[in-house]
Amino acid sequence: MALAPSEGSEHNVTVFAWKGTDELPSFAAMLDRARVLAARHMVNLHATVTRIEYGKKFNWNRYGQVS
């Protein structure tokens, strides 16, 4: 699971989850995948990948909700 700040809302987060035991792909791998999928999606996938990467490094515990 990964938390990322939601697009256009400073007070919401988006949760990304996936099956399996694999960890979140690297930033470079996610950007490569976003480039492949970008033409088929209205969402700005590059920005989404950037928010996911930011979310990996953010101290979510400061809000006292993440264990």
Q: Which of 16, 11, 9 is nearest to 45 (CA)?
A: 16
Give the C-alpha separation, 14 to 6, whole Å.
Answer: 5
Q: What is the pLDDT of residue 12?
A: 86
Amino acid code (one letter) for 25: P
Count of domains for the chain: 1
Q: What is the pTM of this model?
A: 0.69
Q: What is the pLDDT of residue 35?
A: 94
Mean pLDDT in consecutive groups of 10 residues from the start of the chain, 67 residues: 80 81 86 93 89 81 63
Domain carrying residue 35:
2-63
Query: Interior CA angle at 17 toward 30 and 66, to 5°?
Result: 110
